Structures are given as structure tokens and as C-alpha cells.
Structure 1
Amino acid sequence: MIGIFDSGYGGLTVFKPIIELLPEYDYIYLGDSARAPYGGRSGEVIKKFSEEAVEFLFKHGANLIIFACNTASSLALRHVQEKYLKGPNERERKILGVLIPVAEEAVKTTKNGHIGVIGTKATIQSKVYETEIHKLKPHIKVFQQACPLLVPFIEENWHKKPEANSILKKYLLPLKSTHIDTLIPGCTHYPLMIGQIEKYMGKKTKILHSGEITAGKLKEYLERHPEIDSKLAKNKNRTFFTTDNPRRFKEFTEQHFGMKIKMPAQIELG
């Protein structure tokens, strides 16, 4: 089974492209909405929350986990990989993130060597996108902007309101003057505002979609690793868990993603 973990609804922007590209697999989705957003929390707390999510997903049958959360990928992915994938579990289980595939795609996409990144405070302060991009092309200029209010707006389903547009413009304004031709929405919640972002940044800036990129990379990964693929159930089952308000989770999923789902089970982590 493939497990997908996010701090809330944002991971659904990764989940949907994955199930569209790889519909035959069984999936389990965990959204930690009760503790969202993760972006303003300390690294130690993010690691703790990520450990709890990983343990839950492994306990419920996941063999491969996707960290569909940039904040968790930035600050906790390597930590949980080292903790849970050592010894006999190394070949049986895998934990992957969204960050490196997106950084690789940004390097391929840019023509002028100017890449922008928007994300939570934790992701931006980690400078992990800048680090990964410079591993590939040291000369590329990376311009980053923290957008701490966007995730709360999206989690509250207020992201189409004028107030959200006003705040988004303030966040993007500094990036407009840097002449970036490629923008990484470094949070999986942000594709829910992709139309507003594209409208403000204009046609000369390519906005990357982490969900589509991750789905493609996952497909390639499973093709390269038949020993992992063979362990994944393929019955087209989808199971959803949330740490808060399952009815709202269901309504949000159906409204914004057009996916009819069963009522998620509410669980408590920690």
C-alpha cells in the first residue's frame, strides 16, 4: 500500500495526480489537520509529528510513504528515513519526499537561471530548495519568499476570498522584480491557489506543479524498483484518515478535487 502524508489538505494536490497516473494501487492518506499548519513550528516538533505519522501509516499497512508536505520533507524526511529504514526494514519499506524531484524539474525548466521559491517559514528558513538546486547548478540564482498566511487561508477554505488575493500579491511582489522565469510553489497547499499565482506572476513565469512532478517520478521509481512495486497491493482501495473534522475533510476534497470519497476516519496522533 502507498501512504501519503500531509499536515492537512495540501497533500491532496499530490494524491490526485498520483492516483490518476497510478490508479491500480491501494492508497492510504493521512492529513494532520488538527495540528496544521506545520510551517511555523520548530524543527524538533515537525520531526516528532512526522515520526507519529510514519508510525501510523506503517502500522496500517503502508510499504511506501510519500511525504506530500514540503515542510516535513525539508526538516524531517532524512530524520525519519534514518530512524525507520535501517536494518531489516531497509528493503521492505521506503519513505520518499516531494522536494528533490521539484528542484530537479526547476533546474531543467529555467532558461535565465532565476528561480523563485515560495513556502512556509520553516521551508524557506531551511534553504533546502536552494541547497538542492545548487547541487545541480551552482550558478543559478534562487529567490525565496515565506508565505505564512496562505496555508491557514486554504485550510479554512478562504483562499478564493479577496483578502487572500491581497496577501498573496504582497508575498509575490518582491519576486516580480527578480525576473524569475520559474516559480516553485514550495508547499503542496499552494496549487489550490495556482490560478491566482499564475495571474499575478504572468505568462513569462512557469509555475511548477509538485503533484504532477511527484506522480511522474513515483511512476519512474516503481518501474526502476520492481522489488518495491511487487510488495504494493493493487486493488484500487483508497482509505482516508484525518486528525480533525472528517466531514469538513470530505467536503473540501469533493469541492476542490472532484473526488467522491467515503467519510474519513478521525484519529489522534501522539
Structure 2
Amino acid sequence: MLPASVDEAVEALAETPGAVPVAGATDLMEAVNAGRLRPAALIGLGRITELRGWRYEDGGTAVLGAGLTHARMDRPDFAALIPALADAARTAGPPQIRNVGTLGGNIATAAPAGDTLPVLAALEATATLARAGAVRDVPVSHLLTGLDPIRPGELLTWVRVPLLHAPQVFLKAGGRSGPSRGAASVAIVLDPARRGVRCAVGAVAPVPLRPLEAEAWIAGCIDWDARGEEGAQAVDPAALAAFGEYVAGACVPDAALDGAPEGAATTLVRQRRTVAVLARRALGRALK
């Protein structure tokens, strides 16, 4: 089935229980080929042009179509809008993946190493889900954790992202390797209006992690009034290093190391060090 509009796609989902919406199919076909998924039918979203763009909404929000490809998010006009999301899209894999893989597919698949997911978590983005006769908005973090998942018959249509007009950084270590726990990524978003820092760590757990205590602590260490002044130091380098360790300890706690087999413990220690370095560097870049 190849609907030409969101309404047609929603109707097709209602009429065909068990059907799976598909756009880029980069993750879906892997699951089908591996025998993990046997959809009753596929509903292609490639003809729905409205889902491949974005628009501004009153209140300082960007509304992103679920069909936005990683390659499209990497272009300069989008990068100026949401730079951390553009940076994440740029690391999402080789060109053949970035050209067809979509933002909505990243969310719906919810793979641990999904590159855009920590950025969406740090930005506190919201997803719009449509079904026959109803539309609802759900925090993307709730979809990823299963707290409020996509229900049968629902189609992810839009992703709403608050535009903070402030520095944001995404850094990643390691190559794309599916759900491998060997890589790590960190998204940092500054919120100067609230004098806050948002941080999300990807690929080290089944879902992006928000180290809320570390966020609150480092926000109190930043001289927000000094930011933007030439030569001013917004935060002490020692605080940056401590923040990295704070984030790493929250995401890979000591309890995870205790009793772990030697090989697993070595991997966790390496992962913890990687997260600490990424968090320190990402915040340092955001505060420049």
C-alpha cells in the first residue's frame, strides 16, 4: 500500500491490523531478514511529501516530519535550526543509510545506538501520533522507554522540538554498529533562559539516559552572566572534568561493575571512560 497523505495512511493502518508503516526500511528490513519480524503488510510512506519537511510553530517550536531523512537533516539550513540533530544525523552511517533512513524510523525502532535519540531526549522533543479519529502528543522519551508506546493503528507523523537558540553539541565515539554497547554518544543542550544544562547519553543502555543530578550540579557551577564575554571563563576546567565523571558514574554506576565477569567489566570501564570524555568535551564546546 502506498498512501499519498497522512489521512490515507491512517485509514490503511485501521483497515489492516498488523500492518507496519515503512519509510527508509533500513532497520525494518534487517529485522525481516533476520527473522525477528514478520509484518502482515507494509504501508509505504514515501509518497507522503508533507512528512519529509518541517515548519515553524507559534511559541518557538520546530515541527519536523517523521519522514525527514538523515541526509536532509545534515544540510546547512537544518543544521542552523537544530545543530545537534544535524550532527547526529551526519554520524548515522554511510551515505546509503543516511539517504533513506528517517527521523521517525529512528524513534519507532528505538535501537539503543540510534544516533538522533539522545539529542531528542536532551531537547525534550514531543512526538505526534495519529490514528483514525484521534491525535495525541507524547514525549519522545516516553515512547523510547515504553512508558507510553506507539499503539496499534497509530502513525508517528511529527516531532516537535523547542527552539532554544542556544549552543548544543552532539559527540559520538565508535562506529555505527547496530545495537552494540561498545559505542557511546552524548548530547548537550544549554538553556540559558532557565540557566540550565540538559544532557543525554546514548548507546550505553537500552534507552538514552538523562543524568539529572549531574545536569543540576553543573548548571550551578556555570557563570551564566560571563557567557558571551570575550575572554570570560564560564566554568572552571576542574568542574568540566568533574561533570564528565559525574555523568559517566550515573550512566555506568559502580553497581554495574561489581560482580561483572572480567571481560564485561573491562568493557564497562572503557565505556565509562568514554562517556566521561564525551560529556566533558561536549559541554566545553557548548560553553565556548
TM over 0.5: no
Structure with the higher fraction of residues in helix conformation: 1
Bigger CA radius of gyration: 2
Q: TM-score, length-normalised on structure 1?
A: 0.28
Q: TM-score, length-normalised on structure 2?
A: 0.26
Higher RCO, 1 vs 2 (CA within 8 Å, ≥6 residues apart): 1
